Amino acid sequence: MATVLLIEDDALVRRGLQLALKRHGHRIEAAEDGEDGLARFGIGGADVIVLDLMLPGMDGFEVCRRIRESSQVPIIVLTARGDDFDVITGLEAGADDYVVKPVRPTVLDARIRAVLRRAVGDPDGVRTHRGLRIDTEALAVSVDGREVGLTPTELRLLLALSRAPGRVFSREQLLEEVWEQGYLGDSRLVDNGVMRLRAKIETDPARPEYVQTVRGFGYRFGPV
């Protein structure tokens, strides 16, 4: 049973999602605004956060940024518009996934279960690539001896790419393997995931050594 912290200001939506997610087997902690959500998160115990972006006062983008300052807990954002601004800004703030309102509980449940599975890989020992060390059993990553904190999505993305150095993965292949859902070609999830991963493991994200772009095709893991 996963503990879900639901941060949603609309009382009807909040109550409906609480009841639906409980029926799907989750334990729910609910907050009605960003400040309340951060306070409940500070108490601890949440396995995943479902976060509405359009909150009164402190909006969901700022809540997401503050959580990412201290935690890599999976975050799924709820957006009423689903346009480029909301989605891209939410992902850049550190979200792992998004769902467009009105939310179908079965879809949200599937996304919650998928994002929780991303922390689990297929252990094959330690992968070492120059200064980058990936322990697939301990699910730990370090660069030049410095531990790097990755979200489950970022870790799953790195595990997928590093499993086959030199192989080019299309965005569609990475969506299927990492996000586990059919996103109708929504490459924004992949591109933002790569951007955030590079910021954590590359010496110079503008000139990546490990996660390289193959223009017109997708991404590959280097050095090859």
What is the rounded average pLDDT of the residues 65-82? 89
CB 219 within 8 A of CB 213: yes
Q: What whole-number distance in Å separates Cα of residue 1 and Cα of residue 25?
A: 6
pLDDT at 23 exceeding the cut of 60: yes
Per-residue pLDDT tens for 184-210? Answer: 557 888 999 999 999 999 999 999 999
Per-residue pLDDT tens for 132-177? Answer: 999 988 889 999 999 999 998 999 999 999 988 889 999 988 988 8
Q: What whole-number distance in Å separates Cα of residue 51 and Cα of residue 223?
A: 37
Q: Confidence band (pLDDT; 50, 70, 90) for 22?
A: very high
Give the CB-side neighbour count of residue 212, counting CA atoms within 13 A: 13
Q: Confidence band (pLDDT; 50, 70, 90) for 179?
A: confident
pLDDT at 70 exceeding the cut of 70: yes
Q: What is the mean pLDDT of the chain?
A: 89
Residues 6+ apart with CB under 8 A from 53: 59, 60, 61, 77, 78, 79, 80, 86, 90
Per-residue pLDDT tens for 82-119? Answer: 667 888 888 899 999 999 998 999 999 999 988 887 75
pLDDT at 75 exceeding the cut of 70: yes
Cβ atoms < 10 Å from Cβ of 23: 10
Q: What pLDDT shows up at residue 191?
A: 93
What is the rounded average pLDDT of the residues 27-33? 95
Q: Which residue has better confidence, 212 or 180?
A: 212
What is the rounded average pLDDT of the residues 64-71? 94
Which amino acid type is present at position 86?
D
Q: Confidence band (pLDDT; 50, 70, 90) for 181?
A: low
